[in-house]
Amino acid sequence: MKPVNPRKISIRKYKALFNTFYDSLCLFANKYLDDIEVSKDLVQDVFIRVWDKEIGFDNDYAAKSYLYTAVKNRALDYLKSKAYRSRNPLEAADLKELESDTFFAREVLLEESSKIVREAVEMLPYKCKEIINLSLKGYKNDEISQTLSISVNTVKAQKRIAYSKLRVMLKGAFTVLFFLGW
């Protein structure tokens, strides 16, 4: 009989963990690998390991810390592999930069900040969200106007509404990230 692991992760908690972190971890891994498909595979491998090893976490901070570190380590292992290096020679200085704590911290902070902004944008009213998403993709006001068949003044008005709502939603979010060390 297998011993009971009091920290064993339940299916419900595992799914919540996966849904919370998968997209961000894929984007984070892609900062190292510059290949989104390989990044997705790598992140899935990390989640499979969490499930297989029955790794439980005391809190979200511990989960986030473990997952980002595990993805970083898997990405670096992949970059150091003979198979990768034979196709994509990597300079020692580039690898050293990718291995640095500074690069890791910066990329985690950027990804966590982006995640907070994406979640806030998703909470906007439909038209505001649509316009802000196009704007974040680099569309200019006149291009948004043409794409959505609305006036430029409507685009500007919806952006003002969106930005005022985002200011309220994001107030203090980045201060919290700073104090948490992310």
What is the residue extent of each domain of the chain? Answer: 1-99, 113-182
Q: Is a pLDDT exceeding 90 seen at residue 144?
A: yes
pLDDT score, position 175? 58
Distances (CA, A) of 152 to 90, 140, 141, 149, 165: 47, 10, 6, 9, 20
Least Cα distance to 32 among 106, 116, 117 occurs for: 106
Residue 74, both tokens: 């898997």
Q: 47 and 11 in contact (C-beta within 8 Å)?
A: no
pLDDT score, position 180? 46
Angle between helices 60-80 and 92-99 (to 10 degrees): 170
The average pLDDT across 94-104 equals: 80
Between CA 95 and CA 152 the distance in angstroms is: 46
Q: Is a pLDDT exceeding 80 seen at residue 8?
A: no
Q: Is a pLDDT exceeding 80 seen at residue 4?
A: no
Q: What is the mean pLDDT of the chain?
A: 84
In this structure, CATH architecture of domain 113-182: Orthogonal Bundle (1.10)
Helix ranges restricted to H, the chain = 11-33, 36-52, 60-80, 82-87, 92-99, 101-122, 126-136, 141-148, 152-170, 173-180
pLDDT score, position 132? 92
Between CA 101 and CA 109 the distance in angstroms is: 12
- The single residue listed with the structure tokens 């906007």 is 124
pLDDT score, position 143? 94
The average pLDDT across 61-66 equals: 89
Query: Above pLDDT 70, what percent of the chain?
Result: 84
pLDDT score, position 95? 72
The average pLDDT across 47-74 equals: 89
The average pLDDT across 13-18 equals: 89
- The single residue listed with the structure tokens 């150091």 is 80
Between CA 160 and CA 166 the distance in angstroms is: 10
Residue 10 is given by DSSP the state P
pTM of the model: 0.63
